[in-house]
A and B are shown apart, each in its own frame.
Chain A
Amino acid sequence: MEAIFSRGPSLNNRLAIAIVLSIILIVVDNKLDGFQSTRMFLNSLMSPLQYIANLPSLMLNASADQLTSQQQLLEENKRLTRQMLLASEKLQRFDVLSRENEELRELLDAPVSRNMRKIVAELMSVDRNPYSRQIVINKGTLDGVFLSQPLIDDSGIIGQVMEVSTTNSRVLLITDVTHSIPVRSLRNNIRFIATGSGGKNEVFLEHVAHSVDIAVGDVLVSSGLGGVFPAGYPVAKVTYVDKDEGREFARVTAEPLAELDRIKYTLLLELNP
């Protein structure tokens, strides 16, 4: 048999080296979090490939835009004008209420909630990896995105930034199995922790005692504890409550209010500009 490796280590040694290197990488990256800056560099290095992969859908979108009929545009315009009118009516009341709220808070010596800086980002790609729920957005450190920055869409919280590179960043959705978010029930202010389920579009409420007052249909909003997510944004709606006394805790699942499977534009929030 001819030797296929005339130079360098033999095949078995190469495999051994690769295994050792990979295991070191896995441990350092996952368990020790030792690669924050290296990952940013590597992500920036790889972002051209992501932009290339995104081209077909961009082209499809562009051609779909070209082919929209005038009828559709008119209808959309009508719908948006209506929505705008309703929203601005709400906003008029909101201005008065927020001023009133500030004055009341000042009377109580409670901290006044400040305005937030916001960045609009567009979805670049949804993650292929079936084991995790992540998306990639088209804003990076150059636009002022930072690690663990919260993201919302028009109906609720989406997730937080888990990796940043110079021109894009990766977002961990609230339904990912490694993600948890502190929430409170809008109806009675009871605090919970909502953890992602991984596969399906739902979150679990953890360690809920049987005696807790929670019912299907309750809206959960972010509680602001933990300091990552701002308080008061809608997160999920309770869809299932099982108070089986045979179990240690009640089983409560909720469905995210943000439409995580049809995200297009997202809003990045910055708490203290």
Chain B
Amino acid sequence: MIRPRHYVIALSIMVALVLQIVPLPSQADTYRPDWVLVVLAYWTMALPHRVNVGVAFISGIALDILLGTPLGVHSLVLCFCVYILAANYQRLRNYSVWQQCVIIGLLSAFYHLLSFWLLHLLNDIFFLYEYMLPVVTSMAIWPWVFWLLRKLRRQLKIV
């Protein structure tokens, strides 16, 4: 029988994908946090044996299709980010939520710089500082996402 705990991870990633593409007014749009990265980061730190590079690759491909970027750009960037987390998950788990915020900020900055750099190689785009604004909002949503997903994980006993 299929219980919620079997598909909660997939469902949370899907919700993150939808949040990543929901239309917003253009003023709010530049501040949109990296939902997919934050959700993947939580699951990688909590359950690295279930969510790691493979899941990141698939979510990256989905993100590429939804955002219309060349296939492989976001999957490559997300794989790198998730690899860093999965390789250090034992240390990162012991950090407080605020220390994890800093890590998420660094990771998000790395995510945006790497994807900018890849897209710059593919078609000549210019760098604007507002491309880095999501770093701040990603850091701001991390405690809430962390709290919500941990509650979900404990209540549904996902292992």
Contact = CB atoms under 8 A, between A and B. Distances in A.
A binds B: yes
A132 interface: yes
25 contacts: A11-B53, A11-B86, A14-B53, A15-B53, A15-B83, A17-B53, A23-B76, A26-B72, A28-B71, A29-B70, A29-B71, A45-B65, A46-B65, A49-B62, A49-B66, A53-B18, A53-B19, A56-B23, A125-B21, A125-B23, A128-B20, A130-B131, A131-B116, A177-B123, A261-B26
A53 B123 contact: no
Contacts, number: 130
Main secondary structure of the interface of A (DSSP, over half): helix
B119 to A, nearest CB: 5
A26 B73 contact: yes
Interface string A18-34: 11011111101110000
Main secondary structure of the interface of B (DSSP, over half): helix
B52 interface: yes
When A and B form their complex, which 4 residue pairs have the shortest distance between CB atoms, in order from nearest? A25-B72, A22-B76, A26-B72, A22-B72
A168 B118 CA distance: 27
Contact of A198 (B61, B79, B89, B125): B125
Q: How large is the interface on A (under 10, 10 to 19, 20 to 34, 35 or more residues)?
A: 35 or more
Interface string A66-86: 000000000000000000000
Interface stretch (A35-43, A106-114, A138-146, A151-159): A35-43
Given A26-B118, A198-B125, A261-B26, A14 B20 contact: no
A46 B76 contact: no
A56 B125 CA distance: 31
B18 to A, nearest CB: 5
Nearest to B26: A261
Contacts of B23: 53-54, 56-57, 125-126
Given A49-B17, A50-B21, A53-B22, A19 B67 contact: no
B68 A129 contact: yes
Contacts of A11: 52-53, 83, 86-87
B126 A127 contact: no
Contact of B71 (A25, A52, A199): A25
Given A11-B86, A46-B62, A128-B32, A29 B18 contact: no
